[in-house]
Amino acid sequence: MNVGYFCTYIPEEAIQACSAVPVFLTPDSLTITQATPYLPTPFCSFAKILLNTLLAEKSQDLDFLIFGGGCDAGKKLYDIFISLQPKIPCHYFHIPLINNEASLKFYHHSLYVLVNELLSFQGISQHKFNENLAIALNKSYTVKETQTEAFLAGKLSGDSLLQGKKCLHNNLPIENPQKASILLLASHLFVQDIIQLLEEKEFQVYDGSAMGMRRCIFPDIEYTPEHHALDTLAQWYLVNKVPCPGYNPQKRLEILQIFINRIGLRGIVYFYPKFCDQSLYDLSFLKKHIKIPILPLEHDISYSSLGQWETRIDAFREILSNQ
């Protein structure tokens, strides 16, 4: 069974433990023709493209869909899709919108509800799920810890996280001291394109996108096999994962500051989708608290602003060179 999801707060280990294949949704079509009648014009670019992809019969290889997220766009997508495509089983994964003592308990309950629905759909026992999850956690912990250590050491630049390259020390990219090290903060769209453009402009790019850092990097991650597996999974994804824009901004700031200091980052390129309120808030918050230069670049449903971006990126490169 193939289970599609797009929110980085949804644990792929839980899906794997239900004997299913997690499919992280990365829309490749940039048309929004089929989605346009159902969404307002000022709406998240990624949400438009994702909905269009799902409605254009490209969801036929998926047996189950998990919607979720910390913004209204995810809930709206869920409501629209289940009304138009009732044949595909769907689940909305509730994520706490605030960070307090009850947040972890709330997230744990959401995870419990999701797992039980998947187990019922698959016809798998709780005992088998527990066995599968223990295996998945052991494997995932090693990968996440290794990736995080390599990232913090400045050894995972470029598209390393996107390509899922193994973090073996003899295969790690070598940092080029002649290039300005920057962190790319981005969502799901055009990540590979913007990384390529920035590298062509002689930047050493570290991927902080939803496709890269927010899926792969888990600072201070711990794993004790004796602990309840769902408790461990909830801790990983709500507490240890790099927070997304809109959730726990103070911790997000602290982690980004660690990256800046440990890697020696000289600037941030903030590449965000048009009409994304959470990104705009996050950008404003980071500008107030982070001391290194930040270059905001806004995109819509296409990669058409290349000429304008190049001019601004060249100017940004000059600023960093003169520091």
DSSP per residue, 225-293: TTS-HHHHHHIIIIIISPPPTTS-HHHHHHHHHHHIIIII--EEEEEEETT-HHHHHHHHHHHHH--S-
For domain 153-321, the CATH architecture is 3-Layer(aba) Sandwich (3.40)
Instruction: Domain ranges for the chain, please list them.
Output: 2-128, 153-321
Q: Which residue in 71, 70, 67 sits closest to 51, CA to CA? A: 67
Topology of domain 2-128, CATH: Rossmann fold (3.40.50)
What is the structure's pLDDT at 167? Answer: 46
| CA–CA dist 81, 295 (Å, integer) | 35
What is the structure's pLDDT at 56? Answer: 81
Common-topology check for domains 2-128 and 153-321: yes
Q: How far is CA 238 from CA 88, 227, 248, 318, in A?
A: 28, 17, 10, 38
Q: Are 18 and 115 in contact (CB under 8 A)?
A: yes
What is the structure's pLDDT at 201? Answer: 94
Q: SS3 sequence, 135-160?
A: HHHHHHHHHHHHHHHHHHCCCCCCCH
32-55 as b/e: b if 16+ CB within 10 A = bebbeebbeeebbbbbbbbbbbbb
Q: Are 141 and 134 in contact (CB under 8 A)?
A: no
Dihedral, CA of residue 91, residue 92, residue 95 and residue 101, to nearest 10: -70
Residue-wise pLDDT tens digits, 120-142: 999 999 999 999 999 999 999 99
pTM of the model: 0.91
Q: Are 300 and 217 in contact (CB under 8 A)?
A: no
Residue-wise pLDDT tens digits, 149-188: 999 999 999 989 988 754 444 445 555 667 899 999 999 9
Q: Are 32 and 58 in contact (CB under 8 A)?
A: no
What is the structure's pLDDT at 58? Answer: 63
Q: Are 217 and 242 in contact (CB under 8 A)?
A: yes
Phi, psi of 273 (to 5 degrees): -80, 145
What is the structure's pLDDT at 194? Answer: 93
The CA angle 131-138-153, to the nearest 5 degrees, is: 160
Q: Are 14 and 233 in contact (CB under 8 A)?
A: yes
Q: Which residues, 6+ apart, have CB-to-CB distance to 165 below 8 Å?
A: 156, 171
Residues in the chain: 323
Distance of CA 147 to the CA centre of its chain: 15
Mean pLDDT for each consecutive 10-residue tract of the chain (323 residues)?
95 97 85 90 89 80 90 90 92 89 94 97 95 95 94 91 60 64 94 93 95 93 89 95 91 96 96 90 96 94 75 94 86
| CA–CA dist 133, 22 (Å, integer) | 14
| CA–CA dist 277, 245 (Å, integer) | 10
Distance of CA 293 to the CA centre of its chain: 23
Q: Are 14 and 133 in contact (CB under 8 A)?
A: yes
What is the structure's pLDDT at 246? Answer: 83
Sole residue written with tokens 């999701």: 114
Strand order in the sheet with 180-186: 203-207, 180-186, 267-273, 294-299
